[in-house]
Structure 1
Amino acid sequence: MYYKFSGFTQRLTGAVSSSAYSPQGLRSNIPSESPTIFFATPTKLVSESNAPVEYMGANKVPDLQRIFQASEEIPVHLKRGISDRLLYRTTMALTVGGALYCLVALYIAAQPKNK
Protein backbone atom coordinates (compact mmCIF):
# COMPACT_ATOMS: atom_id res chain seq x y z
CA MET A 1 0.00 0.00 0.00
CA TYR A 2 1.14 3.54 -0.71
CA TYR A 3 0.82 6.49 1.61
CA LYS A 4 0.62 10.23 1.03
CA PHE A 5 0.57 13.17 3.45
CA SER A 6 -2.85 14.80 3.55
CA GLY A 7 -2.76 18.56 3.89
CA PHE A 8 -6.36 18.56 5.12
CA THR A 9 -6.10 16.06 7.99
CA GLN A 10 -2.34 16.52 8.56
CA ARG A 11 -1.88 12.73 8.59
CA LEU A 12 -0.74 9.97 6.29
CA THR A 13 -3.54 8.54 4.19
CA GLY A 14 -3.72 5.67 1.74
CA ALA A 15 -3.07 6.54 -1.89
CA VAL A 16 -2.54 4.98 -5.28
CA SER A 17 1.04 4.59 -6.52
CA SER A 18 0.84 7.32 -9.18
CA SER A 19 -0.27 10.03 -6.72
CA ALA A 20 2.08 8.85 -3.96
CA TYR A 21 5.18 9.36 -6.11
CA SER A 22 4.27 12.75 -7.60
CA PRO A 23 4.95 15.89 -5.55
CA GLN A 24 1.96 17.88 -4.39
CA GLY A 25 1.35 21.13 -6.20
CA LEU A 26 3.54 20.30 -9.21
CA ARG A 27 2.29 19.21 -12.59
CA SER A 28 3.85 16.09 -13.99
CA ASN A 29 3.03 16.87 -17.63
CA ILE A 30 5.48 18.90 -19.70
CA PRO A 31 4.03 21.34 -22.24
CA SER A 32 4.42 20.04 -25.79
CA GLU A 33 4.84 23.52 -27.32
CA SER A 34 7.92 25.63 -26.87
CA PRO A 35 7.39 29.11 -25.42
CA THR A 36 7.29 32.07 -27.78
CA ILE A 37 10.46 34.10 -28.23
CA PHE A 38 10.21 37.57 -26.73
CA PHE A 39 12.98 39.21 -28.73
CA ALA A 40 12.71 37.85 -32.25
CA THR A 41 14.76 40.66 -33.80
CA PRO A 42 18.53 40.28 -33.74
CA THR A 43 20.37 42.35 -31.17
CA LYS A 44 22.87 44.97 -32.25
CA LEU A 45 26.30 44.69 -30.69
CA VAL A 46 28.05 47.74 -29.29
CA SER A 47 30.92 47.43 -31.75
CA GLU A 48 28.47 47.61 -34.65
CA SER A 49 26.99 50.95 -33.60
CA ASN A 50 28.11 54.09 -35.41
CA ALA A 51 28.13 56.49 -32.44
CA PRO A 52 31.17 56.45 -30.15
CA VAL A 53 30.53 55.45 -26.56
CA GLU A 54 30.75 58.34 -24.12
CA TYR A 55 30.89 57.78 -20.40
CA MET A 56 29.53 60.09 -17.75
CA GLY A 57 32.93 61.01 -16.36
CA ALA A 58 36.59 60.23 -16.19
CA ASN A 59 37.85 56.92 -14.86
CA LYS A 60 38.64 57.42 -11.15
CA VAL A 61 39.85 53.89 -10.47
CA PRO A 62 43.61 54.54 -10.94
CA ASP A 63 43.47 57.55 -8.60
CA LEU A 64 41.56 55.60 -5.95
CA GLN A 65 43.96 52.66 -6.28
CA ARG A 66 46.88 55.00 -5.72
CA ILE A 67 45.20 56.48 -2.61
CA PHE A 68 44.13 53.20 -1.01
CA GLN A 69 47.24 51.17 -1.85
CA ALA A 70 49.66 53.72 -0.39
CA SER A 71 51.48 52.33 2.64
CA GLU A 72 50.60 54.80 5.38
CA GLU A 73 49.65 54.37 9.01
CA ILE A 74 46.12 55.68 8.36
CA PRO A 75 43.31 53.07 8.42
CA VAL A 76 41.72 52.43 5.04
CA HIS A 77 38.34 53.82 6.09
CA LEU A 78 39.93 57.24 6.82
CA LYS A 79 42.22 57.63 3.79
CA ARG A 80 40.04 59.99 1.76
CA GLY A 81 40.26 62.92 4.15
CA ILE A 82 37.94 65.10 6.19
CA SER A 83 34.66 63.69 4.85
CA ASP A 84 35.71 60.16 5.87
CA ARG A 85 36.72 61.35 9.34
CA LEU A 86 33.42 63.19 9.77
CA LEU A 87 31.42 60.16 8.63
CA TYR A 88 33.42 57.82 10.89
CA ARG A 89 33.05 60.04 13.96
CA THR A 90 29.33 60.57 13.34
CA THR A 91 28.79 56.83 12.98
CA MET A 92 30.72 56.08 16.16
CA ALA A 93 28.86 58.79 18.10
CA LEU A 94 25.49 57.45 16.98
CA THR A 95 26.55 53.89 17.84
CA VAL A 96 27.74 54.81 21.33
CA GLY A 97 24.69 57.02 21.88
CA GLY A 98 22.33 54.26 20.76
CA ALA A 99 24.02 51.72 23.03
CA LEU A 100 23.75 54.08 26.01
CA TYR A 101 20.10 54.78 25.18
CA CYS A 102 19.39 51.03 25.11
CA LEU A 103 21.10 50.53 28.47
CA VAL A 104 19.13 53.39 30.04
CA ALA A 105 15.87 52.03 28.60
CA LEU A 106 16.66 48.56 30.01
CA TYR A 107 17.48 50.08 33.41
CA ILE A 108 14.21 52.03 33.47
CA ALA A 109 12.22 48.97 32.35
CA ALA A 110 13.81 46.86 35.11
CA GLN A 111 12.71 49.19 37.91
CA PRO A 112 9.55 48.16 39.76
CA LYS A 113 6.54 50.43 39.40
CA ASN A 114 5.43 52.31 42.51
CA LYS A 115 1.79 51.86 43.43
Structure 2
Amino acid sequence: MAPAQQGYRLQDVGSRGDMYYKFSGFTQKLAGSWASAAYSSQGLKPVAPSEAPPIIFATPTKFASETTTYDYAGKNKVPQLQTFFQKSDGIPVHLKYGLPDQMLYRTTMALTLGGTIYCLIALYMASQPKNK
Protein backbone atom coordinates (compact mmCIF):
# COMPACT_ATOMS: atom_id res chain seq x y z
CA MET A 1 0.00 0.00 0.00
CA ALA A 2 1.33 3.43 -0.89
CA PRO A 3 2.16 5.85 1.96
CA ALA A 4 -0.61 8.24 0.88
CA GLN A 5 -3.23 5.47 1.17
CA GLN A 6 -2.40 4.21 4.70
CA GLY A 7 -5.18 6.13 6.46
CA TYR A 8 -8.93 5.67 6.08
CA ARG A 9 -10.48 7.29 3.09
CA LEU A 10 -13.51 9.51 3.63
CA GLN A 11 -15.94 7.16 1.88
CA ASP A 12 -14.63 4.20 3.95
CA VAL A 13 -15.31 5.99 7.22
CA GLY A 14 -18.66 7.28 6.05
CA SER A 15 -19.81 3.89 4.91
CA ARG A 16 -19.41 2.31 8.36
CA GLY A 17 -22.72 2.79 10.15
CA ASP A 18 -21.76 1.09 13.42
CA MET A 19 -19.07 3.56 14.62
CA TYR A 20 -19.85 5.48 17.82
CA TYR A 21 -17.62 7.81 19.81
CA LYS A 22 -17.45 9.04 23.37
CA PHE A 23 -15.11 11.35 25.24
CA SER A 24 -12.43 9.51 27.19
CA GLY A 25 -11.69 11.13 30.53
CA PHE A 26 -8.38 9.28 30.70
CA THR A 27 -6.87 10.28 27.34
CA GLN A 28 -8.89 13.50 26.96
CA LYS A 29 -9.75 12.53 23.38
CA LEU A 30 -12.61 10.95 21.47
CA ALA A 31 -12.50 7.19 21.52
CA GLY A 32 -14.53 4.57 19.73
CA SER A 33 -17.24 2.89 21.79
CA TRP A 34 -20.42 0.86 21.64
CA ALA A 35 -23.72 2.61 20.96
CA SER A 36 -24.99 2.04 24.51
CA ALA A 37 -21.84 3.58 26.05
CA ALA A 38 -21.89 6.51 23.64
CA TYR A 39 -25.52 7.40 24.38
CA SER A 40 -25.28 7.09 28.18
CA SER A 41 -22.48 9.55 28.85
CA GLN A 42 -19.66 8.12 30.99
CA GLY A 43 -21.97 5.49 32.42
CA LEU A 44 -24.06 7.99 34.39
CA LYS A 45 -27.72 7.13 34.64
CA PRO A 46 -30.43 9.63 35.59
CA VAL A 47 -31.53 9.03 39.17
CA ALA A 48 -34.83 10.33 40.50
CA PRO A 49 -34.85 11.18 44.21
CA SER A 50 -37.05 8.86 46.24
CA GLU A 51 -38.18 11.56 48.69
CA ALA A 52 -38.35 15.33 48.67
CA PRO A 53 -35.34 17.13 50.18
CA PRO A 54 -35.89 18.78 53.58
CA ILE A 55 -36.85 22.44 53.65
CA ILE A 56 -33.81 24.54 54.48
CA PHE A 57 -35.52 27.77 55.45
CA ALA A 58 -38.64 26.72 57.30
CA THR A 59 -39.43 30.16 58.74
CA PRO A 60 -42.15 32.11 56.94
CA THR A 61 -41.24 35.09 54.83
CA LYS A 62 -41.67 38.50 56.44
CA PHE A 63 -43.01 41.39 54.44
CA ALA A 64 -41.44 44.84 54.53
CA SER A 65 -44.35 46.21 56.58
CA GLU A 66 -43.75 43.58 59.30
CA THR A 67 -40.06 44.30 59.85
CA THR A 68 -38.93 46.38 62.80
CA THR A 69 -36.49 49.20 62.33
CA TYR A 70 -33.53 49.63 64.63
CA ASP A 71 -31.73 52.87 65.36
CA TYR A 72 -28.10 51.78 65.20
CA ALA A 73 -26.74 55.19 64.20
CA GLY A 74 -28.02 57.05 67.22
CA LYS A 75 -28.82 60.74 67.06
CA ASN A 76 -28.31 62.55 63.76
CA LYS A 77 -25.48 65.06 64.28
CA VAL A 78 -25.34 66.39 60.72
CA PRO A 79 -27.46 69.54 61.29
CA GLN A 80 -25.33 70.56 64.29
CA LEU A 81 -22.09 69.98 62.39
CA GLN A 82 -23.40 71.97 59.41
CA THR A 83 -24.11 75.00 61.57
CA PHE A 84 -20.70 74.62 63.29
CA PHE A 85 -18.72 74.45 60.04
CA GLN A 86 -20.74 77.16 58.24
CA LYS A 87 -20.13 79.86 60.87
CA SER A 88 -18.20 82.76 59.42
CA ASP A 89 -15.58 83.31 62.12
CA GLY A 90 -12.56 83.72 59.83
CA ILE A 91 -11.09 80.26 60.50
CA PRO A 92 -10.66 77.93 57.50
CA VAL A 93 -12.87 74.85 57.46
CA HIS A 94 -9.92 72.46 57.71
CA LEU A 95 -8.83 74.11 61.02
CA LYS A 96 -12.21 74.56 62.74
CA TYR A 97 -11.79 71.63 65.19
CA GLY A 98 -8.82 73.29 66.87
CA LEU A 99 -5.61 71.56 67.98
CA PRO A 100 -6.14 68.13 66.29
CA ASP A 101 -6.78 69.83 62.93
CA GLN A 102 -3.76 72.09 63.40
CA MET A 103 -1.50 69.12 64.17
CA LEU A 104 -2.72 67.21 61.11
CA TYR A 105 -2.29 70.28 58.90
CA ARG A 106 1.23 71.01 60.13
CA THR A 107 2.30 67.37 59.85
CA THR A 108 1.00 67.22 56.28
CA MET A 109 2.81 70.43 55.35
CA ALA A 110 6.08 69.22 56.94
CA LEU A 111 5.91 65.88 55.10
CA THR A 112 5.13 67.64 51.83
CA LEU A 113 8.05 70.04 52.23
CA GLY A 114 10.41 67.24 53.28
CA GLY A 115 9.37 65.08 50.33
CA THR A 116 9.91 67.94 47.90
CA ILE A 117 13.40 68.60 49.27
CA TYR A 118 14.24 64.88 49.15
CA CYS A 119 13.10 64.65 45.51
CA LEU A 120 15.17 67.68 44.52
CA ILE A 121 18.29 66.25 46.21
CA ALA A 122 17.74 62.86 44.52
CA LEU A 123 17.28 64.58 41.16
CA TYR A 124 20.49 66.60 41.68
CA MET A 125 22.46 63.46 42.63
CA ALA A 126 21.08 61.55 39.63
CA SER A 127 22.11 64.34 37.28
CA GLN A 128 25.77 64.36 38.40
CA PRO A 129 28.12 61.92 36.64
CA LYS A 130 29.97 59.39 38.79
CA ASN A 131 33.71 59.88 39.14
CA LYS A 132 35.83 56.78 38.73
TM category, shorter: 0.5 to 0.7
Offset of residue 80 of structure 1 = 1.3
Q: Which runs of 5+ in 1 are unaligned?
A: 1-41
* AA of the residue aligned to 1:70: K
- Supply the AA of the counterpart residue of 2:108: T
Q: How far 1:71 moved relative to its partner?
A: 0.6
* TM-score normalised by structure 1 residue count: 0.56
* Deviation, structure 1 residue 111: 1.1
Give the helix-richer structure, 1 or 2.
Answer: 2
1:93 aligns with 2:110: yes
CA offsets, 1:41-80, max 9 Å, x none?
A: x8843xx134342123321112211111101111111111
2:124 paired with 1:112:
no
CA deviations 1:68-98 (Å, max 9, x no partner) are 1101111111111111111111111110110
* Residues in 1 aligned to 2:101 and 2:63: alpha-carbon distance in whole angstroms: 43
Question: Normalising by structure 2, what TM-score?
Answer: 0.49
Count of equivalent residues: 72
2:66 pairs with 1:49: yes
Question: For 1:1-115, what aligned pairs fall within 5 Å after superposition?
Answer: 44-45=63-64, 48-115=65-132
Deviations 1:21-56 (A, max 9, x none): xxxxxxxxxxxxxxxxxxxxx8843xx134342123
Shift in CA distance, 84/113, structure 1 to aligned 2, threshold 3 Å: same
Q: Give the superposed CA RMSD.
A: 1.9
Identity among equivalent pairs (%): 58
**Distance in 1 of aligned mates of 2:85 and 2:75:** 18
